[in-house]
Amino acid sequence: MTMQQPTSAPDRFLRLLRVALASQTLSLRKVAEKADISPAYLSRLVNGERGLPTDDTIIGKLEQALDIQPGKLFDAAERPDATAKTFLKKQQARPLMRSLAPLSDEDLAKVLKVADELARKHHAK
């Protein structure tokens, strides 16, 4: 019987994880403790010996433990976080994303600015 080699996490995810770990004053063991995962698991993940966690809460816990902006590690993992999943359940979410897909980065930045202003206005209540 041949053992299948594990698929490592995406490079972008690994780079972000490694940079965040390097910027910490905490040891890998302490970060693992804060994220409620084993140090061995975190080590294998960082070294590309493990794939992405199947449990999204682990990615969220790593974001918190490493002070990574919420959603950034999920983006690097090419997975939606809880906020994105909530948005994607809305009826107009996918048509909106399709309409935004062809925009340039500059135009998309303008759309994001307006969306941020609207969100602040409606959540200020």
One domain, residues 73 and 32: yes
Tell me whether residue 5 is in a domain: no
**Containing structural domain, residue 114:** 92-123
Asked if pLDDT for residue 125 goes beyond 60, the answer is no
Give the C-alpha separation, 7 to 122, whole Å.
Answer: 43
Residue 124 clears pLDDT 70, i.e. is over it: no
Residue 81, domain CATH: 1.10.260.40
* Mean per-residue pLDDT, 99-118: 93
Rounded to two decimals, what is the model's pTM? 0.74
Residue 48 lies in a domain: yes
pLDDT category of residue 62 using cuts at 50, 70 and 90 = very high
Same domain as 51, residue 99: no
The helix (H) or strand (E) run that includes residue 82 is helix 82-88
Number of domains composing the chain: 2
Same domain, 81 and 26: yes
Average pLDDT for residues 25-33, to the nearest whole number? 94
Separation CA 36–CA 29 (nearest Å): 10
Whether residue 25 is predicted with pLDDT greater than 80 in this model: the reply is yes
Judging by beta carbons within 10 Å of its beta carbon (0-12, 13-18, 19+), is residue 51 exposed, middle or buried? middle
